[in-house]
Amino acid sequence: MTDSIDIILSATFWAATLRIATPFIFGTMGELLCERAGVLNLGIEGIMTIGAMVGWMAVFQGADLWVGVFAAACVGAVFGVMHGLLTIHLGLSQHVTGLGITLLSASLSYFIYRLLFPASVVPPNVESFEPWLVPVLSELPILGPTLFSQYSLTYLAFVLVGVVAYILNKTPLGLAVRMVGENPAAAESQGVNVFSIRMGAVVIGSSMMAIGGAFLTLAAFNSFVFTMVQGRGWVCIALVVFASWRPGKGLLGAILFATFEAFQLRLQQIVSGDIPYQIFLMTPYILSIVVLIVMSRRAVYPKALLIPYRHEEH
């Protein structure tokens, strides 16, 4: 019990929590934006995987780290366009298309990796982002190591939450996104191009997801492993429901899940050998499912989510 309290009170624990939360924040904001426009994007797992691979590959080929992030965002946008064309313009099943995008992008990542490194057993390393210490603030006790000694992408993730929340709630563009997710026929009657708004939301949201994947290879680690995303995309979809499609609550959910994850990693070290490690690995997911069940009962989802829109029907 004392060891658990020591973990929770440690500044390094909370610093690690924010780092673990970073890809979840990017993925959750991307998925939330898609769903607020009425499009479920089950391609998130694969998009995060190919974003991780492309970002790492760009840096391995000599590009700057931020160029690698941009390359990941671009490939995410490409798969967003693909998903949008199939679901928004052709009206195909968002479930089937999303799973197809995940299978395609994840498999393509592995194919390209093996094409370039056919005999490599250990993935090559690249220079990764270093934590950026905010002058003066990083020297504060507790708060300094926790909040002001993070990776640049972690700061960007927190800024992104504010930007998404502001756009959705305070701007005409955000109102248009929410309208096409709730009542696309009414939005079109007000001159809103439903297809363009939905397409833009899916493309931008997919770019965010890919950046979340790139964080894993360019900051958290410095190499690419095919299984490194490890279900983070599916967790992000659950976090959107937990958040009731609100950016602020999405941030809270990402940090909550990351807290469980960081805690089990440290708890493994304390009781190593006494309890099977698989118990610790599944603990964050069990706790997240419980929280999701409790919170989602009152969730109000976008009314037009999963419903294709066709001009001729209105």
pTM listed for this prediction: 0.91
Residue 3 has pLDDT above 90, yes or no: no
Residue whose structure tokens are 């479920």:
40
SS3 content of the chain, % helix, strand, coil (to 5): 70, 0, 25
Contact between residue 84 and residue 97 where contact means Cβ atoms under 8 Å apart: no
Looking at the chain, the whole-number percentage of residues with pLDDT higher than 90 is: 52
Note the maximum CA span of the chain. Answer: 65
Report the 10 Å Cβ neighbour count for 255.
16
Condensed to tens digits (0 to 9), the pLDDT of residues 192-215 reads: 999 999 999 999 999 999 999 999
What lies within 8 Å, CB to CB, of 175 at 6+ separation is none
Condensed to tens digits (0 to 9), the pLDDT of residues 41-51 reads: 999 999 999 99
Q: Where are the beta strands (DSSP E) in the chain?
A: 132-133, 149-150
Which pLDDT score is estimated for 125? 86
Which pLDDT score is estimated for 206? 96
Q: Supply 80's token pair.
A: 């967003």
- Higher-confidence residue of 300 and 247: namely 247
Q: Bridge partners of 150?
A: 132
Condensed to tens digits (0 to 9), the pLDDT of residues 135-153 reads: 887 778 878 888 888 899 9
The fold for domain 8-116+150-313 equals ABC transporter involved in vitamin B12 uptake, BtuC (1.10.3470)
Mean pLDDT of the chain: 87
Mean pLDDT confidence for 259-278: 71
What lies within 8 Å, CB to CB, of 292 at 6+ separation is 238, 241, 242
Which pLDDT score is estimated for 205? 96
Condensed to tens digits (0 to 9), the pLDDT of residues 68-87 reads: 999 999 999 999 999 999 99
Contact between residue 231 and residue 117 where contact means Cβ atoms under 8 Å apart: no
Q: Return the domain boundaries, the chain.
A: 8-116+150-313
